[in-house]
Every structure is written in C-alpha cells, then in structure tokens.
C-alpha cells in the first residue's frame, strides 16, 4: 500500500514544487518589469518612507528606472556617510569634551566607519550586476547591509541622547546632519527594496501573506551531526573534525597555551579571512577571564571554543551608571563576519542597580553561538545588527535582556528571567526595528521561556514578566513552538510608553505550549497576532529569516531550517 501511495502522490508533489517555483519566478519577473519601467523622480519617490526628502536626493529632471534611482541613492548615501564621519571626527578633535560626550562620539565614529564599508559593498554589488540579477542570497545581502546602516545611525543617535546632559552642544550640533543621514539611508533602502525585492517577499514577514511554503527540513552542519555529536567532535577530535581550520591557538591562564588572555589570541588571528578557507580557532581553557574583548571587523571567521558553559568564562562589569555607553558596556563585542562561539560563558557582573550592562554585543554578519550562556541583568544580550543564529544557548536577565535590531533566530535556547530590582518588570525582548523596509526581527523557536531560580523563589515583592516590549516603531518579534512558563503575565506583552508603536509593531505567537502560552488574555494591540498557519510562521524560520541554508552548514552547528 505504501508503494502505491508514493506512486500516486509523487507527481502531485513535483507539480506543486514546479508551481511554487514558477510563482517565485513570476513574482521576480513582475518586480523586475516594474523596476525597469522609466518613471519620473517624483513618481519613484512616492513609494519611499519620505517622498519629500527623496525628491531632494534624486535628479530633478528626466526619467529613469528604479534600478538607476536605487544605485544613485546608494552613491549619495555613501557621500553623506563620509561627510558625517568627518563631522564626528572634527568634534572629537576639538578636545575639552566631557567623558560622556567622548564615549558617545567614539561609538558614532566606529558606526559611521562601518556604514561607509557597508555602503561601499552595497554599491559595488549593485554596480556590477545587471538590472534584475540580484537573487537570493545576493539581494538579501544588500538589504541586510542597508538595514544595518540605519541601525548604526540610530545607535549613534541613541548614545548621544543618553549622554545629553554631558553633550548638549555636540548633540545639538549633530542633530540636523544625523537626521538627514537617516533620511538618506531610509530612502536608499526604500528604493532598493522596491527595485530588487519581490513584492511577495516584502509582505511576507509581518502580514498574512507568505512568499513560499514552510520548510520542515533539518540542517545538520557539515557532517550531519546532532548536538551531542558536534560537541564530542569538537572536544575530543578537535575543531578540524567538524569544520575546515586554517590555524589554531589555545588560551590558558596557567601559561600552558599560546596566550594567557582571550584578547591577545583575537589580536593574533589573521586579518580578513575568506569564509571559504576555513576558521581560525581559538580554544579557551577552563577559567574566569576578567577582560573586555572586541573582535574587530577585520578578524573574520574566528571560531572560539570553550570547555563548556560555566567552565570557560569571559567576564566584565562595565555599565551605563559607571559612565559607559550601552553599546560599549559589552564584556564581549564582535564585529568580524562569520564569528562562531561554542561552549562559552559571557558575563557582566555589574548587577541590576547599574542598569544597562551588556554581556555580549554582536554586530557581526553570519555570527553563530552554540551552547553558550549569556549572563547579566538589564540588556544582557545585544543582538545589534546583521544576521545571527543562536542554538542551545542560555540567556539570563531582567529588563530587555535580548535586545537589538539584527535578523536573528534563537533555536532550542533557554531564556531565564531573573529577579529584578523592586518596582521593575522583566521583559525578555526589546526589538529595535526602526524602518518598515528593514529585514530584521527576533524569532524564538523551540525555546524555553522560564523563571530563573532567584525569581522562582522570590516571595518578597511581585514581579511581572513579559515576552517583550517595542523599543522602536517597527519592532518585530515572533515566539513559536516554544514552552512558556507561568512566570509570563497573561497579557504577554508590555507597552514601551503610552500607545507608542502598538499599531506599527509586529508581535506574533504560534503553537507555543506551557502555562504561560495561553493567548486568550493577550494584549489587543493592532500589531499583535496569533499566527494561524504554518505558512505564516514559516516566514520567521532559519531558512527564511536569516537564509541560514546558505551559510550555517559551514559552521558545523546543527540547525533546523524550517518548522519543527
């Protein structure tokens, strides 16, 4: 009987696959045809986030197509980014600024330099491609870079705003140039999205439309490894058994390794490795490493392997109360593309009274964290920008303890809400999408959302815990196929202030279990949804949200591409 069923259903499956492929091709063809049609600059600007400003950017006469306008806007944005960096440098060169102002400007300096890199890369891709040949992952790569540019600019603005008391003159002097830069970058992202991203894909992440069916496949890395097999290979057989390796060093506080600090090992990594060549592996022996570490943008494809959660620990105690910006309070910060961490603990011990105090910040594209823990209180894990994946990790915190504006998927992770200060509520996520065309958002899939032991044992004062709150206007978070415990308030989600973002955010839940998963008493915001189909939920999986099938296999880290 089974053979007969296969024989009769196989042609239907093939026809369905062919039909779906044709629909995708047709959608791209329709988008390409519309983008290639000549239009006036004014018409081209009508669909952008700021049509009036857009008309001041594009040439005022003649007609062209969306492809040309898109390339032109990226070039203008690059020129603007260079001007803005020059202005930041001039402020820093003046001297006499308060430490708070200097710290915020230094963040802006770093972020503006990254924007120049990203715009240069985006422009190079667009200028060397024919009008309609940007397909996945190329179109997604450019949209990711343009999304990150807006995030970087917002982070610069947030830092200056937070340092306002110490930086009034600086903030006011940069206010107009910063606002104009944001408008430039938003217009460029708008025009790129209209020209190169199919309309079906634009609507799929945040509405009931879906651009392709849910994928239920399971990626298992290079060697079809399960989680346990992967750990065994890395621990017992060496990293080369799991992934290609171009070099390997050991960090050991006893002096038995190549280096005694993690920072020195990172500095020794080759610069600008290509992902196709393999990883530079840093093994971190058991110990507590008290240092603040940065993996800079030129240290690409670094893989850091510890001895396990609670064994190889990198710890610091920087906080906003002690004068650091949130961005630069991170104990561990990574910018280098392709970073992988396995079996590590990243910790910030500043404590709840010091408010924002980040354990780890990632602004590294294609970064992966496997069997790691992140421990702090407010703002524990800063998933700042670009594309990220977390598998079988543990995150501990209180207020907004997973926050940022990356395109990020947490899979099989445990998120533990700790006991906050009296009068505080716990919020698991605070997603920071601030433009409707950004391809960013946070997905929790197959995770556990629970109370940490100190919160579970608390009887001193009531503590409400929420799945998230909207940090920015277009905040986007999806919790699916996860276990939610009773610590989560029946309302599920918490407003930021008043009705801010309640109609523009996209918060969704799908097929969750546990006593806190009941959606019957959830918030009634326009932007909150209980997803009703696998097709809708499929848009927020690894395969769709971060295009993980294109880059996760080379990490060797197990992953599920679609729904469980």
Active-site residues, by number, are: 400
Phi, psi of 77 (to 5 degrees): -65, -40
From residue 482, how far is each of 310, 374, 445 by CA, in Å?
25, 19, 6
Pairing of strands 218-219, 559-560: antiparallel
List alpha helices for 381-421, DSSP H. Answer: none
**Is the torsion defined by CA of 529, 534, 537, 539 positive or negative?**
negative
Q: Which of 183, 185, 194 is nearest to 39 (CA)?
A: 194
Residues 437 and 142: beta-carbon distance below 8 Å: no
Residues 47 and 195: beta-carbon distance below 8 Å: no
Q: Which of 448, 562, 544, 541 is nearest to 219 (CA)?
A: 562
Count of H-run helices and E-run strands, the chain: 13, 28
How far apart, in whole angstroms, are the C-alpha atoms of residue 296 and residue 129? 29
Tokens of 387: 């594309």
How far apart, in whole angstroms, are the C-alpha atoms of residue 138 and residue 150? 19
CA 343 to mean position of chain CA atoms:
21
Residues 43 and 58: beta-carbon distance below 8 Å: no
Phi, psi of 260 (to 5 degrees): -105, -10
């Amino acid at each position: 009987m089974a053979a007969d069923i296969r024989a009769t259903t196989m042609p239907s499956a093939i026809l369905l696959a062919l039909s779906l492929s044709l629909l995708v091709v047709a959608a791209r063809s329709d988008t390409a045809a519309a983008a290639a049609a000549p239009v006036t600059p004014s018409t081209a600007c009508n669909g952008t986030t700021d049509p009036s400003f857009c008309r001041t950017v594009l040439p005022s006469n003649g007609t062209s197509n969306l492809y040309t306008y898109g390339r032109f806007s990226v070039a203008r944005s690059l020129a603007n980014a260079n001007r803005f960096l020059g202005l930041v440098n001039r402020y820093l060169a003046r001297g006499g600024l308060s430490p708070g102002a200097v710290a915020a400007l230094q963040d802006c300096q770093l972020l503006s330099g990254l924007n120049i890199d990203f715009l240069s890369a985006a422009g190079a891709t667009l200028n060397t491609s024919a009008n309609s040949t940007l397909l996945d992952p190329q179109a997604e790569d450019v949209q990711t870079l343009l999304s990150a540019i807006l995030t970087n600019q917002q982070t610069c603005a947030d830092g200056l705003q937070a340092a306002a008391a110490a930086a009034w003159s600086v903030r006011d002097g940069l206010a107009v140039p910063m606002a104009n830069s944001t408008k430039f970058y938003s217009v460029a992202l708008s025009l790129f999205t209209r020209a190169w991203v199919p309309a079906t894909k634009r609507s799929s992440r945040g509405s009931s439309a879906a651009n392709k069916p849910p994928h239920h496949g399971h990626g298992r890395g290079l060697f079809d490894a399960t989680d346990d097999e992967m750990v065994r290979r890395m621990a017992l057989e060496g990293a080369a058994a799991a992934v290609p390796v171009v070099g390997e060093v050991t960090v050991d506080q006893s002096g038995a390794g190549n280096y005694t600090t993690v920072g020195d090992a990172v500095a020794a990594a080759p610069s600008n490795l290509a992902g196709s060549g393999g990883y530079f592996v840093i093994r971190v022996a058991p110990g507590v490493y008290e240092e603040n570490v940065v993996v800079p943008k030129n240290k690409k494809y670094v893989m850091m392997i510890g001895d396990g959660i609670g064994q190889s620990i990198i710890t610091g105690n920087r906080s906003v109360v002690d004068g650091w910006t949130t961005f630069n309070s991170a104990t561990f910060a990574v910018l280098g593309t392709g970073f992988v961490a396995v079996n590590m603990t990243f910790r910030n011990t500043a404590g709840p009274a010091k408010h924002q105090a980040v354990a780890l910040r990632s602004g590294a594209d294609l970064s992966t964290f496997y069997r790691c823990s992140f421990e702090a209180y407010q703002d524990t894990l800063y998933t700042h920008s670009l594309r990220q994946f977390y598998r079988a990790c543990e995150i501990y915190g209180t207020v907004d303890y997973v926050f940022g504006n990356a395109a990020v998927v947490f899979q099989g992770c445990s998120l533990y809400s700790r006991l906050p200060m009296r009068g505080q509520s716990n919020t698991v996520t605070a997603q920071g999408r601030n433009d409707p065309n950004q391809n960013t958002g946070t997905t929790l899939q197959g995770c556990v959302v629970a109370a940490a032991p100190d919160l579970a044992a608390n009887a001193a004062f009531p503590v409400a815990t929420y799945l998230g709150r909207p940090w920015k206007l277009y905040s986007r978070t999806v919790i699916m196929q996860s276990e939610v415990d009773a610590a989560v308030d029946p309302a599920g989600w918490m407003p930021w202030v008043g009705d801010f973002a309640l109609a523009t955010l996209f918060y969704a839940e799908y097929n969750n279990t546990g006593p806190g998963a009941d959606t019957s008493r959830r918030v009634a915001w326009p932007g909150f949804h209980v997803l009703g189909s696998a097709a809708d939920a499929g848009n927020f999986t690894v395969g769709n949200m971060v295009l993980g099938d294109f880059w996760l296999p080379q990490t060797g880290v197990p992953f599920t591409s679609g729904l469980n």
